[in-house]
Amino acid sequence: MGRLRGLTVMNETAPLLAERAGPERTSALMRLLVSCADRPGIVAAVSRFLFDAGANIVRSDQYSSDPSGGAFFLRMEFTLETEDRAGFPERFGLSVAERFDMTWRLWDTTQPKRIAVLVSRSDHCLTDLLWRRQRGEIEGDIVLVGSNHADSRAEAEAYGVPYHHVPVEKDRKPEAEAALLEILDGRCDLVVLARYMQVLSGDFLERVGVPVINIHHSFLPAFAGAGPHERAKERGVKLIGATAHYVTEELDAGPIIEQDVVRVSHRDDVAALVRQGADIERAVLTRAVQWHCQDRVLRHGNTTVVF
Amino acid sequence: MGRLRGLTVMNETAPLLAERAGPERTSALMRLLVSCADRPGIVAAVSRFLFDAGANIVRSDQYSSDPSGGAFFLRMEFTLETEDRAGFPERFGLSVAERFDMTWRLWDTTQPKRIAVLVSRSDHCLTDLLWRRQRGEIEGDIVLVGSNHADSRAEAEAYGVPYHHVPVEKDRKPEAEAALLEILDGRCDLVVLARYMQVLSGDFLERVGVPVINIHHSFLPAFAGAGPHERAKERGVKLIGATAHYVTEELDAGPIIEQDVVRVSHRDDVAALVRQGADIERAVLTRAVQWHCQDRVLRHGNTTVVF
Amino acid sequence: MGRLRGLTVMNETAPLLAERAGPERTSALMRLLVSCADRPGIVAAVSRFLFDAGANIVRSDQYSSDPSGGAFFLRMEFTLETEDRAGFPERFGLSVAERFDMTWRLWDTTQPKRIAVLVSRSDHCLTDLLWRRQRGEIEGDIVLVGSNHADSRAEAEAYGVPYHHVPVEKDRKPEAEAALLEILDGRCDLVVLARYMQVLSGDFLERVGVPVINIHHSFLPAFAGAGPHERAKERGVKLIGATAHYVTEELDAGPIIEQDVVRVSHRDDVAALVRQGADIERAVLTRAVQWHCQDRVLRHGNTTVVF
Amino acid sequence: MGRLRGLTVMNETAPLLAERAGPERTSALMRLLVSCADRPGIVAAVSRFLFDAGANIVRSDQYSSDPSGGAFFLRMEFTLETEDRAGFPERFGLSVAERFDMTWRLWDTTQPKRIAVLVSRSDHCLTDLLWRRQRGEIEGDIVLVGSNHADSRAEAEAYGVPYHHVPVEKDRKPEAEAALLEILDGRCDLVVLARYMQVLSGDFLERVGVPVINIHHSFLPAFAGAGPHERAKERGVKLIGATAHYVTEELDAGPIIEQDVVRVSHRDDVAALVRQGADIERAVLTRAVQWHCQDRVLRHGNTTVVF
């Protein structure tokens, strides 16, 4: 599989269609994500390949960071009959992807992404995810919850989701990360930090092998560090917000997926800021997770393309 | 040029590229809008044609109203060298559009759309359009202002735009519409009703031959008819809004292009509602005009696809 | 208790402080709501009374619909020591309220409002209310859930809230309303229609004797009647919203408490509109219920003053 | 005039009512702003004084930062007959303000605030202010424009506003500030930095003697320093915003008056971010100036109370 410097399609470590094929189906909705250096003929080549393969494109989004010499991003949603699927990924790789030196990925939507949620004490984001999953409002399965606290066990288990308590003792963080990795290993396509208050090491991020999405409070202008709501209150902010982003080794500096704000006033004390911050956090995180599960988010260096 | 029942691409009466070719240029940004019945192979055929014609696609948007049996919409932005442009539209028509029975349109962005603005007494929308045009924030030329009042002459002329005063006398509306049609005839690609308080007849709409965009107030729940701000105030609305839409013969029922709202409270009297309504009206109308000029709005029956 | 034509303070039928006095407390946060014809001296008289009574005003909001001859609205939040509370309401009535012919109401915040929730099949609003009540995010108790269906029994009971199934048989609506009234009688200070799909009769509204809050979808422009999402889709709306209002005998025409919208596009099918509509409905209803429970909403004819 | 540590009512250096009395009027709308340490009886004393003085309160807003031991803020709008105005401020000072050690200010709304606008090259904020002033949408007079560039002279003068070009030469900033101070001295009640790109010294701020409002871009999370739009683009922000604040000696750290955001996407290049940033900047600055002119903004340490 090709790879272009600075471009990464999400989820490359997740299994390909061919490896996950379930029972026979007559037709499936597939998604193809592509990034490569822009040049003429990419759309023609991809769409021609899909047409010849018997696929019907139902949605297509494309973006070039620059008309000349930029990076090219493509997301195509198409239906494919069962009998047309044998060897499909291999043929695409050989006849199209190699020619354009593409980073690419094929997803079968009948295999929803498996989500592991990590949480600490605050459970507002976890609850929202569990509740929406139950209603079928997120295109993904929550397969496990991990936490450095025992607080949310009952809640997770009420939704039928296994709960793993992995305490993080002072000075024994590497051991805790190792335990977490063992739990996550091969079991998920996405890790969601739903107010998980432990900083993950670069080593963990590399070894976990799947994308990690985080939510954090954010303000205009921002207040990094401890006590952000207290400091925002002291400054008289009129908006509080939240930012969902992919986690990179540099703390809170990864590519942004989604942001939103809510209006506050001097009448809101610090507790009210925290409460409204929680509401906007869960709304933003849920949207980011949903878009990721719909394969609508492509990374481009330290930014994102959200189709 | 093909046409599909129920589907209309905007601006079909405007001149085609070939008829408007200006002085020689080395490269131009072009836009192709397509709608037709959905079926496999459309994107492949169009993108292959563009590739063979030497075009480089810089943006592509596609939408299908239904994966099976729905309507298909496509907007492609591409650059094309001067030497590749001779006969381009004709070849596309013959080799692609006919095959799929497409309604289509090709726009050369070096020829900005010519906009005629009709206005009555309130000039907030007109001012915003003139001001943004001067700053190059709208991709279109305002070529004339028409009005049933003389009030805004000085303002239009200060921006170098000709002003036509066409009074509408009681019982002599057909004469006024005929006078307007004469002024507009062949001079514009778009008519914008920027708070023009005269209802236009179906006959006028048919004969003017270019799309007409209107702005009107809107509320949740809506108050049709006279005195909307007074009635909204009596009901205690918390949001007031504006809706920009294409004008059809049925009053205020045409396809919606853009909408937005602003928050109000019991402290806002009717005058404050009107003032804030004016702000949201001009913001929404300007966005609708801009999107139309960028060929981002396709009509689909009584709705729109906004890419 | 005085009453002015056209003005009604919410919750007049709920018990007064003196009747609900619980165990001795050293200090309590109280709220006084007043409406009357505007004239000089009202604020002076009320604040002087509170000062003499030993109260400390912590928040005060006032609104006059018109500086001359308008209606006057006042909400004061103050703390009062236990030993100062004996006879407080009676003295206020005699020495202040009668003089200005006030409609007024005194609330003791240590006695949270008792909320009855009526629901049909869709439980998104009910869930949000139950969940927030459990977290202490609503200043009120949910004391019972009533429904014409059995669907949400498990959910309500999981939160420890009694569930009353009151089927509404065709042609036997009066009997169902009578059964509901018996369940509600004396048990609640507020009825919330959380997607309760039965139209309540004027007779029911009069006999229930407490305010009734409803949530309904709303659009710009509005689509009354059946299938609103389908019709909004056909028109190409770009915003969908929700309106929370007090229920009056005229269907969906009562005073508006809160409204909000969410942005949609042509990519959202009817199911997506319904889902996003549900999200905005529960957000708006929860805010309206919260504001009502905080005694921040005063009715003024068919509109509201929200402090 | 009393003053409480850490509390400052805006505009204390502006002339009092008694000093600005114009021709005889029968009635005027007045505004009283008060801040002091919270304790029982303040509202009673103020409202009693106003009642005895013949005033009719038409709006009153109050806020306590803490029910016990906090800071108290009050804004009262009232009408007062001409014959009742003689000695009014002196009597309020002696009989009420001294007793509670108040910082206070009295404004006569018939004397609109005089605004000086400082601008550099970008004129979007200046244009919006001039345009709204002409329509009577801002409760204040723009009495002069000052700039370190000559660019906006024609625009200011077209609105009948004097333009002062005060170049700021490298290493001669003190001389430029002195020249500015001479122009501003005694001529304005408010200085608005409408994209004025020179940092003002603490000495200037002290000597100018009137509040100074600034507008600056802001992001979630914020990007301080040069090239904010470029860096925001690199991070993939989904919202861009603007913050209006009072200027203090510490750069961009003064009390926030208003903030707002607009949604952007990966399709917006840096130029589009700048353009949309300009739109939100002028909207936010105009609101902040309007609220200040309506005496709705009180400073509380490094935060604000906006009634």
User: In angstroms, what separates the C-alpha of D139 from chain C's closest C-alpha?
Assistant: 19
Quick one: closest CA in B to A48, which residue? B44
Looking only at the bridges linking them, the beta strands covering C239-246 and C163-165 are: unpaired
Q: Does residue C13 carry a pLDDT above 60?
A: no
Least confident stretch, A65-69, B31-35, B36-40, C100-104: A65-69
Q: What is the pLDDT along chain A (307 residues), one digit of tens a residue?
A: 333 333 333 333 333 333 444 454 588 999 999 999 999 899 999 999 999 999 988 888 999 988 778 999 999 999 999 888 889 999 999 999 999 999 999 999 999 999 999 999 999 999 999 999 998 999 999 999 999 999 999 999 999 999 999 999 989 999 999 999 999 999 999 999 999 999 999 999 999 999 999 998 887 556 777 788 888 888 899 999 999 999 998 878 899 999 999 999 999 999 999 999 999 999 999 999 999 999 999 999 899 999 9
Phi, psi (deg, nearest 5) at residue D193: -90, 100
Q: Which two tokens stand for residue A107?
A: 């997803």
Which residue intervals of A185-269 are DSSP H helices? 202-208, 228-235
Q: Does domain D7-108 have CATH number 3.30.70.260?
A: yes
- Is the CB of A58 less than 8 angstroms away from the CB of B67? yes
For residue C125, the SS3 value is helix
Choose among D280, D282, D248: nearest CA to D261. Answer: D280
Which residue would you say has higher pLDDT here, B26 or D173? D173
Q: Which residue has the tokens 């009642």?
A: D51
For residue D200, the SS3 value is coil
- Is the CB of A59 less than 8 angstroms away from the CB of B55? no
Instruction: Give me the residues paired with residue B107 across strands.
Output: B31
Interacting residues of A228 by C-beta distance below 8 A, sequence separation 6+: A217, A219
- Is the CB of B57 less than 8 angstroms away from the CB of A61? no
Q: Does residue D24 carry a pLDDT above 60?
A: no
Quick one: closest CA in C to A135, which residue? C124
Give residue C263's pLDDT: 93
Q: Model pTM?
A: 0.89
Query: Amino acid identity, residue A258?
Result: E
Cis peptide before C221 (omega within 30 of 0): yes
- Is the CB of A60 less than 8 angstroms away from the CB of B43? yes
Measured CA to CA, the distance from residue A267 to residue D63 in angstroms comes to 8
User: Rounded to 5, what percent of chain D is helix, strand, coil?
Assistant: 30, 30, 35
Give pairs for A59-64: CB < 8 Å, separation 24+. A59/B62, A59/B63, A59/B64, A60/B43, A60/B60, A60/B61, A60/B62, A61/A307, A61/B60, A61/B61, A61/B62, A62/B57, A62/B59, A62/B60, A62/B61, A63/A305, A63/A307, A63/B59, A63/D266, A63/D267, A64/A38, A64/B58, A64/B59
Give residue A227's pLDDT: 83
The torsion angle over the Cα atoms of residues C290, C296, C300 and C301, rounded to 10 degrees, is: 20
- Packing angle of the helix pair D124-134, D270-293 (nearest 10 deg): 40
Chain pair A-B, CB pairs under 8 angstroms: 62
Measured CA to CA, the distance from residue B222 to residue C222 in angstroms comes to 5
Q: Which two tokens stand for residue D261?
A: 């955001």
Residue D275 has its nearest CB partner, among B131, B137, B275, at B137
Q: How far is CA B168 from CA B25, B115, B156, B171, D28, in A?
A: 45, 21, 20, 9, 43
Q: Which two tokens stand for residue D54?
A: 């013949």
- Is the CB of D50 less than 8 angstroms away from the CB of C62? no
Give residue D2's pLDDT: 35
Looking only at the bridges linking them, the beta strands covering D163-165 and D140-147 are: parallel
Q: What percent of chain C has pLDDT over 90?
A: 74
User: In angstroms, what separates the C-alpha of A44 from chain B's closest C-alpha?
Assistant: 4
Q: What percent of chain B has pLDDT over 70?
A: 91
- Is the CB of A304 less than 8 angstroms away from the CB of D266? yes
Residue B59 has its nearest CB partner, among A41, A44, A64, at A64
The verdict on B271 touching C (C-beta cutoff 8 Å) is no
- Which of C131, C157, C294 is best to mutate for the A interface (most A CBs within 10 A)? C131
Measured CA to CA, the distance from residue D136 to residue D156 in angstroms comes to 16
Q: Which residue has the tokens 């609103």?
A: C228
Q: Does residue D13 carry a pLDDT above 50?
A: no
Question: Are the C-beta atoms of D239 and A261 separated by less than 8 Å?
Answer: yes
Phi, psi (deg, nearest 5) at residue A286: -60, -40
Residue A303 has its nearest CB partner, among D222, D224, D236, at D236
Choose among C221, C235, C224, C215: nearest CA to C277. Answer: C215
Phi, psi (deg, nearest 5) at residue A42: -65, -50
User: Looking at the annotation, which residues of B are catalytic?
Assistant: 252
Contacts of A257 in chain D (CB under 8 A): 236, 238
Q: Residue B93 carries which DSSP code?
A: I
Query: Amino acid identity, residue A80?
Result: L
Measured CA to CA, the distance from residue B17 to residue B111 in angstroms comes to 9
> Number of C-alpha atoms within 13 angstroms, CB side, residue C56?
17
What are the counts of helices (DSSP H) followed by strands (DSSP E) for chain D? 10, 14
What are B276-302's pLDDT values in tens digits? 999 999 999 999 999 999 999 999 989
B136 by Cβ neighbours in 10 Å (0-12 / 13-18 / 19+) ranks as exposed
Measured CA to CA, the distance from residue B224 to residue B250 in angstroms comes to 14
- Is the CB of A304 less than 8 angstroms away from the CB of D261? no
Give residue A220's pLDDT: 56
Give residue C87's pLDDT: 92
C231 by Cβ neighbours in 10 Å (0-12 / 13-18 / 19+) ranks as middle
- Is the CB of D220 less than 8 angstroms away from the CB of A261? yes
- Is the CB of A127 less than 8 angstroms away from the CB of C127? no
Angle (CA) A258-A304-A217 rounded to 5° is 30
Contacts of B275 in chain D (CB under 8 A): 137
- Show the beta-strand stretches assigned E in chain A: 7-8, 27-37, 56-64, 71-81, 103-108, 113-119, 140-147, 163-165, 190-193, 212-219, 239-246, 256-263, 297-300, 303-306
Q: Which two tokens stand for residue B74?
A: 């496509």
Helix (H) or strand (E) holding D90: helix D88-92
Chain pair A-C, CB pairs under 8 angstroms: 4
Q: Which residue has the tokens 């500096």?
A: A253
Measured CA to CA, the distance from residue D159 to residue D114 in angstroms comes to 15
Residues 51-80 of A with CB under 8 A from D: 63
User: Looking at the annotation, which residues of C are catalytic?
Assistant: 252
Question: Are the C-beta atoms of A194 and A117 separated by less than 8 Å?
Answer: yes
Quick one: closest CA in B to A51, which residue? B41
Q: Does residue D169 carry a pLDDT above 90?
A: yes
Location of each CATH 3.30.70.260 domain in chain D: 7-108
Chain pair A-D, CB pairs under 8 angstroms: 103
Question: Are the C-beta atoms of A107 and A75 separated by less than 8 Å?
Answer: no
Which residue would you say has higher pLDDT here, D126 or D21? D126
Looking only at the bridges linking them, the beta strands covering D56-64 and C56-64 are: antiparallel
Maximum pairwise Cα distance, chain A: 64
Residue A44 has its nearest CB partner, among B39, B42, B47, at B47
The verdict on B127 touching D (C-beta cutoff 8 Å) is yes
Q: Which two tokens stand for residue C69?
A: 């001859």
Measured CA to CA, the distance from residue A93 to residue A101 in angstroms comes to 10
Which residue intervals of chain B are DSSP H helices? 17-20, 42-52, 88-92, 98-100, 124-134, 153-158, 173-184, 202-208, 228-235, 270-293
What are D41-87's pLDDT values in tens digits? 999 999 999 999 999 888 889 999 887 789 999 999 999 998 888 89
> How many CB atoms sit inside 10 A of residue C233's CB?
20
Measured CA to CA, the distance from residue A22 to residue A1 in angstroms comes to 23
Residue A44 has its nearest CB partner, among B48, B63, B64, at B48
Q: Which two tokens stand for residue D118?
A: 């400082």
Interacting residues of C275 by C-beta distance below 8 A, sequence separation 6+: A137
Give residue A221's pLDDT: 55
- Alpha-carbon torsion (A264, A266, A271, A274), positive or negative: positive
Give residue D10's pLDDT: 35
Contacts of A63 in chain B (CB under 8 A): 59
- Is the CB of B44 less than 8 angstroms away from the CB of A63? no
The verdict on D137 touching B (C-beta cutoff 8 Å) is yes
Q: CATH code for A113-306? A: 3.40.50.170
Measured CA to CA, the distance from residue A307 to residue A304 in angstroms comes to 10
Q: Which two tokens stand for residue A66?
A: 């620059």
Q: Does residue C9 carry a pLDDT above 70?
A: no
Location of each CATH 3.40.50.170 domain in chain C: 113-306
Quick one: closest CA in A to D307, which residue? A266
The verdict on D8 touching A (C-beta cutoff 8 Å) is no
What are C73-126's pLDDT values in tens digits? 999 999 999 888 889 999 999 999 999 999 999 999 999 999 999 999 999 999
What are A100-126's pLDDT values in tens digits? 999 999 999 999 999 999 999 999 999
Q: What percent of chain D has pLDDT over 90?
A: 75
> How many CB atoms sit inside 10 A of residue D222's CB?
22
Contacts of C265 in chain B (CB under 8 A): 306
- Is the CB of D237 less than 8 angstroms away from the CB of A259? yes
For residue B212, the SS3 value is strand
- Which of C27, C42, C57 is best to mutate for the D interface (most D CBs within 10 A)? C57
Give residue A69's pLDDT: 82
How many residues make up chain B in this entry?
307
Residues 27-56 of B with CB under 8 A from A: 39-44, 47-48, 50-51, 54-56
Q: Which chains neighbour B (Cβ–Cβ under 8 Å, 3 or more pairs)?
A: A, C, D
Choice among D61, D84, D141, D252 that is catalytic = D252
Give pairs for D176-180: CB < 8 Å, separation 24+. D176/D148, D177/D201, D177/D203, D177/D204, D180/D118, D180/D146, D180/D204
Interacting residues of A113 by C-beta distance below 8 A, sequence separation 6+: A11, A14, A139, A140, A141, A189, A190, A292, A293
- Is the CB of B58 less than 8 angstroms away from the CB of A41? no
The verdict on B261 touching A (C-beta cutoff 8 Å) is no
Residues 227-246 of A with CB under 8 A from C: none
Q: Which two tokens stand for residue C104?
A: 């007024």
Contacts of C57 in chain D (CB under 8 A): 40, 42-43, 62
Enter the ipTM.
0.85
Q: Which chains neighbour C (Cβ–Cβ under 8 Å, 3 or more pairs)?
A: A, B, D
